[in-house]
Amino acid sequence: MDRLNSSARLMIVSDLDHTMVDHHDPENLSLLRFNALWEAYYRHDSLLVFSTGRSPTLYKELRKEKPMLTPDITIMSVGTEITYGTSMVPDEGWVEVLNKKWDRNIVTEETSKFPELKLQAETEQRPHKVSFYVQKDKAQEVMKALSEKFVKHGFKTEGKLPQNTLVCGDSGNDAELFTIPEVHGVMVSNAQEELLQWHAENAKNNPKVIHATERCAAGIIQAIGHFNLGPSKSPRDVMDSSDSVPENFEPGHDIVRFFLFLERWRRAEMEYSELYLAGLKALSFPSSVFVHPSGIEQSILDCTNVLRRSYGDKQGKRYRVWVDQVTTTEIGSNIWLLKFNKWEISGDERRGCVATVLLSSEDLSPSEGFTWVHMHQTWLDGAGAKDHTDWVC
């Protein structure tokens, strides 16, 4: 990816439904735990790839429903559509490759010979994909027979060997991810029987593939720790912020830590103490300016007073905060410019802003973090809060 100056330290390739996203977790806690871990420790030098069978239409619907991060690469429609970044720029080179190897008439002809296959909705039929439903007990038999037929017609998969990669899945659709040599793999604890059976028959003795004991995104975090791929303790798993400072402190961690504090403060998940407010004040320049998304400028004293009044105002209510796409640039000696999207779910409302923050590390030890110099926020298109006064910091 263009945003990285060197090879990615880690690339995570993850399925979405029932792998990264747990549809049985109404609070989305495992997903939020992963979000905090990724933005704090990995976003600046690693790659996140979502690989899903969903069409672009259904993928975008999922993004509206769940607090998902923005991946560097999105692979949709069972590998037939690849896009990059926030704008989801299509990979035209991949389209050309598929055009050379794809014959829709052959696929339609061969699949018509299997009465077990039922066409999915029109939104799931894509230029290089024909999608069907099939009963679970017939799936493996049909897939095996179809694969043999398509190999005879010259269809086959090709790919490049990735490095520093963790692949994550839960279903038979994800099995091929685990066949790539030298990658680490995790089947989440809630993996379907078809994937577990594939593993027992093909990769049982492969130490690089594990069956996690944790569900969905929590299983991915577990695998990061199991394979020693990097930090695996999410800032959301640390209640005392003084214990959450990594050896190599990154500015992104300071951003994640602050907004996690904001969530816990408003949900009253921590005791009220003026010491917390004094600490925030101490880690801000006296002349610091915080620009609210509405355009109102606030001093550090103003922000402290707002925080004081907002303690516990979301207690017992649906309220979560997360950041996405934290980019970090050192623009001077000990001065860092960070840009990211900040999101909140408050009740049934989802609102977000793009934020720019200046941090300074001058005269501070790693354990002290950074001094906040300036923050400017602007509402994201269509994501402004209905009540601007409910948006704190």
Per CATH, the number for 10-90+161-236 is 3.40.50.1000
Please state the φ and ψ torsions of residue 253, each to the nearest 5 degrees. Answer: -65, -35
Distance of CA 224 to the CA centre of its chain: 14
**Stronger pLDDT, 156 or 7, i.e. the higher one:** 7
Per-residue pLDDT at 80 exceeds 70? yes
The band of 78, judged by pLDDT with boundaries at 50, 70 and 90, is confident
Per-residue pLDDT at 346 exceeds 50? yes
Arithmetic mean of pLDDT, 157-171: 69
Angle between helices 300-310 and 251-266 (to 10 degrees): 40
Distance CA(71)–CA(60), nearest Å, equals 13
pLDDT tens-digit series, residues 254-291: 999 999 999 999 999 999 999 999 998 988 999 999 99
Task: Answer yes or no: are the C-beta atoms of 31 and 168 closer than 8 Å.
Answer: no
Which structure tokens are listed for 392? 């704190």
Arithmetic mean of pLDDT, 191-196: 95
Q: Which CATH number fits domain 249-379: 3.10.450.50, 3.40.50.10490, 3.40.190.10, 3.40.50.300?
A: 3.10.450.50
Task: Answer yes or no: are the C-beta atoms of 10 and 162 closer than 8 Å.
Answer: no
CA atoms within 13 Å, Cβ hemisphere of 265: 22
Distance CA(342)–CA(306), nearest Å, equals 18
Per-residue pLDDT at 232 exceeds 90? yes
Strands (E), the chain: 11-14, 47-51, 73-76, 81-84, 89-90, 118-119, 132-133, 165-169, 184-187, 209-211, 284-291, 297-299, 319-332, 335-346, 349-360, 371-379
pLDDT for residue 386: 86
**DSSP-derived secondary structure for 226-260:** HTT-S----GGG-SSGGG---SS--HHHHHHHHHH
pLDDT tens-digit series, residues 85-112: 999 998 888 777 776 666 666 766 666 7
The band of 366, judged by pLDDT with boundaries at 50, 70 and 90, is low
pLDDT for residue 91: 86
Arithmetic mean of pLDDT, 364-393: 87
Per-residue pLDDT at 115 exceeds 60? yes
Distance CA(269)–CA(272), nearest Å, equals 9
Mean per-residue pLDDT over the chain, rounded: 86
Q: Please state the domain extents for the chain.
A: 10-90+161-236, 102-152, 249-379
Distance CA(39)–CA(325), nearest Å, equals 7
pLDDT for residue 363: 75
